Structure 1
Amino acid sequence: MAQVTPVPSLDLDFWLKKAHEWDQTDTLESQKDVCLHLPKLQEFLQHAYETLKHMSPNAAVEQFPPVGQLLGRLCENKFVLGHEETRNALICCLCCLQSSEPKSAVELKANSWVQNLLCHLFCSSEAIGHEEYKSIDKIGCTTVDYHSKLLKNIIASWIKQLTKPEGSNCENKLSGDYVRALSLRCIPILTLPDLVPLLEALLKYHSSEPKEVLDDEFLDRINNAILRKKILLSESAVLSLWLRHLPSLERAVLDLFQRLIAIQSKSLKEMEQIINDSVLAQAAQDPFIFRIIDNIFRNAILESDGNIKVITVVRLFTHLFIHIYQKNNTQVRFPLKAYFPNSDRLLVMALLRQPVGLQQDVCLAHLQSIIRMLSSVAKETRSRESVFESWFLLIHFGDWVDIAAELLMTSECEASDDLLWLLAFYYNPWNENQETSRTMTASRSVYERLLALRSSAAVCASKLQTLLEEEQQSGCHPCTLQLYRHLFIFFLLFSSEWHIAAKEFITHMTQTQEAAREVSDILARTVWRLSIPGMKSEKLITIVQELLHAF
């Protein structure tokens, strides 16, 4: 990272002295002196901004105590403000002194002071005459109040023009160039609370021009302010931003994705809250936005080679998206085919069915219908793309895979081969026929030995450890080992007599970081699934949570 040269204190003292001199007199000589120094002042302010933007407001004031006084004095000099580039540099410097999350009365007061100056500077960019400045005192209004009210009036006027119905006869209707210029002028003061209605009006503004009328930098900066929680806009305004500016949508998705991966949370509830706060699941109700998000997920899965954390993010996001979609009873909904255009409609509808409340035999029959559709693609087609699309769709609705593993451990059904095949496909969809046969033979052997242990009177963690070590030493594929871990965890959870050995065995099984991540993920999503209303699994949830916190 390039080192930032600090603002020399000598320069600060020099410009503070100059600003003080300019305040003391309004003579022609003073005005000439201001004009003479404007190029150097602009250069100094730009240099100051490049330094201050890398510092917190507190650090900036602590390192350069005169900076606030200097900026305040310069903001009161009408000849300094009359120079557009210098005024813009002042705005940028002031924004660096504004705390995004004030934590004390001093910071709140400083923010108020900065916002008043920003309001003043923004209004000063309008055509306000010298005589009008002189008359402020005569109308019984302070400068701060005057500019605050003026800003509100200016914003109200622009909003009125921006929201004029299309085709209305209005001579003062803003041109595309003017709207673009207005969006640029808003950039330095995006976080000013009074500006929010104007920002929303700009984002919802649409002209008949074929090109985007809002400046790209404005759209990029406002998206960044939203992601950093520096401004709070309505969902409709955010949706409008993402629909009209694809880079902003992509950046929002990547930001969400990175945050979810980084927290390494053992609680999907925490991840769920982050997704809800991002508004992306709500925005994804528009099929265009959903497909963009889904394509980013697709690339993430391909690039991470099916990383389990990435897969869980996709599962969780899809669950929240579907929850919002199904709650939407008041608006016209898009058909689900619009969201999954590359997937078989019958398979989509089958995966969408909610398993909560289904009898075990009904649940098993429904799973078998899902497995038949998936296996017809995996076994009969030679298209790698078709196999991937079917597997990627299963990833979205992966709860059915966990339900299959649960059924294997809670019922001795004749369909165990089908359920084992689903787990094998979930963990490795690219298995060729011969490799699939080996995986199925090995997983069936593990499954049958687990059933035998469930029937055993002696509960002992060492028996499970021996079985796991034998399979690890057999040189099985890493994906097959993931399948085994899934079976072992669900064996422990759904065989109540084995709960006493669960902690000891899981500690043994999670010696590597990779295994620990996988087991943690399985346990976290099990807690989340069992916490869905109607599951009535409080005791089991408590056991899983204890295991989660054990490592």
Structure 2
Amino acid sequence: MAQDSADLAADYQFWLQKLSAWEQASSKETQQDTCLHLSRFQEFLKQIYEILKEMDSNAILERFPTIGQLLAKTCWNPLILAYDESQKILIWCLCCLLNKEPRTSGESELNSWIRGLLSHVLSAFRFDMKEIGLFPESLGYESVDYYPSLLKNMVLSLVSELRESHLNGLNIQRWMAPERMMSLSQVCVPLVTLPDFEPLVEALLTYHGHESQEVLSPEFFEAVNEAFLSKKIILPTCSVVSLWFRHLPSLEKSTLHLFEKLFSSKRNCLREMECCIKESLLPQAACHPAIFRIVDEMFRFVLLETDGAPEVLAALQVFMSCLTEALEKENKQTKFSLKTYFPYGAPSLTAVLAQRPEAIPQRHRLQPLLHISQLLREAVEDHTHGSQQGPFESWFLFVHFGGWVDLAVEQLLRKEAEPPAGLLWLLVFYYSPQDGSQRRVQSMVELKVLLNRLLMLLRSDPLSAIDLQKAAESPSTDPRPPVCGQLARRLLLSLLLWTPECHAIAWEAVTHMAHTDAVTHEILGFLDQTLYRSDHLCVEASRKLAGELLQELSQV
């Protein structure tokens, strides 16, 4: 505790000296120093407020006799006051100093002085003559008398200059010097959330000079990205994409921010996931392969860390659906080849997977499924061609396109057809990519036995939910691994939804299956996924039943 107090006292003196130095000089270097230290100073203000709010005004003045001096210097520093968060914290601190029941003339005078400071802060940073005088100097303009209406003109002038420099790149004399670009971006750090500065922020983000190195400061990119993520500014997609292209940490932070929203403790339905993903603008940005591959690598890492958690798989597949929609909207299919998006996948396999499975007529769906199975099997198990593709890499490519798994299940449950080995292999590989070839063959045998049992029960009269549940249990004496149990439940649930004969016993069968929280969560996810993809695979009756089951099971 003593150490904490000593650290706070040292910080207090440091910032008091800084504020005095910033107050005494208005040079370009001083203003840049203010911008670069602003985030740290704001954290210091927050610390001070947490202490002040627990004390009465008299105790505050005893512990911090110069607190009024520090806050006043802060109030009259336009670069600090320009940032809306600083205004808010400063107001909180000033309110702590107010004596609710002043008993002496000194206390009343102090209250009056504090109210004057509050009035100044609450004037919403008017940019009057005195305040605006600092900005033209730091932006390269001569110091003149500015009025509030001229602030917009100054911003528009800078925007025009940036755009003219960008469009007239052949005229070397009209390029903006890199030093000026750096200075301009640093001055904008505390101003990015102010509406009048939005055109300048956009112009800076989309400006591309001819320098080999970045001409804008990292602090500027971080401030803009943070403001965008916290919805304090609204930027056009092209500006956001440019931001992520030029500053990789911002792209990574935005992707992690999306993951936090998607994988929160509360279960998100796929429609909600889709809204979050589209709102993030990441699918639109990922139309460019360079951004897609970074986001995709982060999905890969999360899948590895979570052992292929179903919610992560679902999010990846929804993201791919949003990306496909964005590509179609922007008509960029021919601009980049599939190889640029998936450089490690076999081109022939990627081309087949990238087709829209729902667009294939039902009578023609088996052939592309068997072709996909053959190509994946060659990549995973056939090493005669010197394939360097490991099982995980092939699986990771496959899971991007989850619609093919739905089609494979649909084909296997067709009562008139003998289950093709290729489809059995495809489903076993999707659910157990880590298995070796021998274990995979054994799982294929078990899956075929399960299918035969389920389809045989469909012909029994009366149809029993308990019998269906028993049929889905492991056919061997060894307990089925969890992943194989998940595949069995997927088949049984699909049968209940897609087969009219099973609709009457669907709820009873689902309640028998949902005997643990984990299995219930899994079933809820499957029903939600079915509704999300229902337009492609399910008839109206199945869609209605899935919605009813989802609603009832969610309330249990």
Residue of structure 2 in register with 1:379 after alignment: 381
1:426 Cα deviation from its structure 2 partner: 0.3
Deviations 1:124-159 (A, max 9, x none): 33349xxx99x97xxxxxxxxx64322212212221
CA gap 1:352/1:171 in 2 versus in 1, 3 angstroms: closer
| Cα separation, 2, equivalents of 1:461 and 1:75 | 72
Alpha-carbon contact 2:237-2:281 (below 8 Å) kept: yes
CA gap 1:479/1:536 in 2 versus in 1, 3 angstroms: closer
1:484 Cα deviation from its structure 2 partner: 0.9
- Amino acid of the residue matched to residue 180 of structure 2? Y
| Cα separation, 1, equivalents of 2:89 and 2:83 | 11
- TM-score using structure 2 length: 0.77
Alpha-carbon contact 2:81-2:125 (below 8 Å) kept: no
The reply on whether 1:95 has 2:105 as its aligned counterpart is no
1:412 Cα deviation from its structure 2 partner: 3.0
Deviations 1:332-368 (A, max 9, x none): 6212221111111221121122233533330112211
Alpha-carbon contact 2:189-2:220 (below 8 Å) kept: yes
Residue of structure 2 in register with 1:154 after alignment: 154
| Cα separation, 1, equivalents of 2:305 and 2:39 | 41
Alpha-carbon contact 1:427-1:483 (below 8 Å) kept: yes
SS in 2 for 1:232: coil
- Amino acid of the residue matched to residue 194 of structure 1? D
- TM-score using structure 1 length: 0.77
Deviations 1:203-239 (A, max 9, x none): 1122222221111111112111111111111111111
Deviations 1:396-448 (A, max 9, x none): 11111111112222343134432221110101123222211221121111111
CA gap 1:207/1:358 in 2 versus in 1, 3 angstroms: closer
CA gap 1:415/1:509 in 2 versus in 1, 3 angstroms: closer
Alpha-carbon contact 1:266-1:524 (below 8 Å) kept: no
CA gap 1:486/1:121 in 2 versus in 1, 3 angstroms: farther
Show structure 2 runs of 5+ residues with no match: 26-33, 58-67, 91-118
- Amino acid of the residue matched to residue 300 of structure 2? R
1:123 Cα deviation from its structure 2 partner: 5.1
- Amino acid of the residue matched to residue 160 of structure 1? S
Specify which of 490, 494, 512 is matched with residue 494 of structure 2.
490
The reply on whether 1:277 has 2:279 as its aligned counterpart is yes
CA gap 1:309/1:152 in 2 versus in 1, 3 angstroms: same
Alpha-carbon contact 1:242-1:248 (below 8 Å) kept: yes
SS in 2 for 1:126: helix
Deviations 1:308-340 (A, max 9, x none): 111111111111112222343389621222111
Alpha-carbon contact 2:81-2:87 (below 8 Å) kept: no
Alpha-carbon contact 2:339-2:347 (below 8 Å) kept: yes
Residue of structure 2 in register with 1:315 after alignment: 317
1:201 Cα deviation from its structure 2 partner: 0.9
CA gap 1:222/1:454 in 2 versus in 1, 3 angstroms: same
- Amino acid of the residue matched to residue 513 of structure 1? D
The reply on whether 1:250 has 2:252 as its aligned counterpart is yes
CA gap 1:512/1:63 in 2 versus in 1, 3 angstroms: farther
CA gap 1:123/1:257 in 2 versus in 1, 3 angstroms: farther
- Amino acid of the residue matched to residue 379 of structure 1? E
| Cα separation, 2, equivalents of 1:377 and 1:332 | 27
Residue of structure 2 in register with 1:458 after alignment: 462
1:225-304 paired onto structure 2 within 5 Å: 225-262=227-264, 264-265=266-267, 267-304=269-306
SS in 1 for 2:462: coil
Residue of structure 1 in register with 2:126 after alignment: 116
1:260 Cα deviation from its structure 2 partner: 1.0
SS in 1 for 2:357: coil
CA gap 1:55/1:238 in 2 versus in 1, 3 angstroms: farther
Moved more, 393-402 or 490-499: 490-499
1:54 Cα deviation from its structure 2 partner: 7.3
- Amino acid of the residue matched to residue 313 of structure 1? A
CA gap 1:511/1:415 in 2 versus in 1, 3 angstroms: closer
Residue of structure 2 in register with 1:401 after alignment: 405
1:536 Cα deviation from its structure 2 partner: 6.8
SS in 1 for 2:302: helix
CA gap 1:119/1:391 in 2 versus in 1, 3 angstroms: farther
Alpha-carbon contact 2:182-2:217 (below 8 Å) kept: yes
1:271 Cα deviation from its structure 2 partner: 0.9
Specify which of 355, 361, 376 is matched with residue 359 of structure 1.
361
| Cα separation, 2, equivalents of 1:370 and 1:254 | 32
Specify which of 436, 441, 444 is matched with residue 445 of structure 2.
441
CA gap 1:171/1:214 in 2 versus in 1, 3 angstroms: same
| Cα separation, 2, equivalents of 1:275 and 1:127 | 42
- Amino acid of the residue matched to residue 461 of structure 2? A
The reply on whether 1:126 has 2:136 as its aligned counterpart is yes
1:161 Cα deviation from its structure 2 partner: 2.2
Identity %: 34
- Amino acid of the residue matched to residue 433 of structure 2? P
CA gap 1:380/1:168 in 2 versus in 1, 3 angstroms: closer
| Cα separation, 1, equivalents of 2:74 and 2:474 | 77
| Cα separation, 1, equivalents of 2:489 and 2:521 | 11
| Cα separation, 1, equivalents of 2:371 and 2:219 | 51
| Cα separation, 1, equivalents of 2:162 and 2:265 | 41
| Cα separation, 2, equivalents of 1:520 and 1:265 | 10
CA gap 1:151/1:332 in 2 versus in 1, 3 angstroms: farther
The reply on whether 1:390 has 2:394 as its aligned counterpart is yes
Specify which of 207, 213, 218 is matched with residue 215 of structure 2.
213
Show structure 1 runs of 5+ residues with no match: 16-30, 37-41, 82-86, 100-108, 137-145
CA gap 1:89/1:410 in 2 versus in 1, 3 angstroms: same
1:1-16 paired onto structure 2 within 5 Å: none
- Amino acid of the residue matched to residue 281 of structure 1? P
| Cα separation, 1, equivalents of 2:492 and 2:413 | 10
Residue of structure 1 in register with 2:61 after alignment: none
- Amino acid of the residue matched to residue 162 of structure 2? L
| Cα separation, 2, equivalents of 1:468 and 1:443 | 10
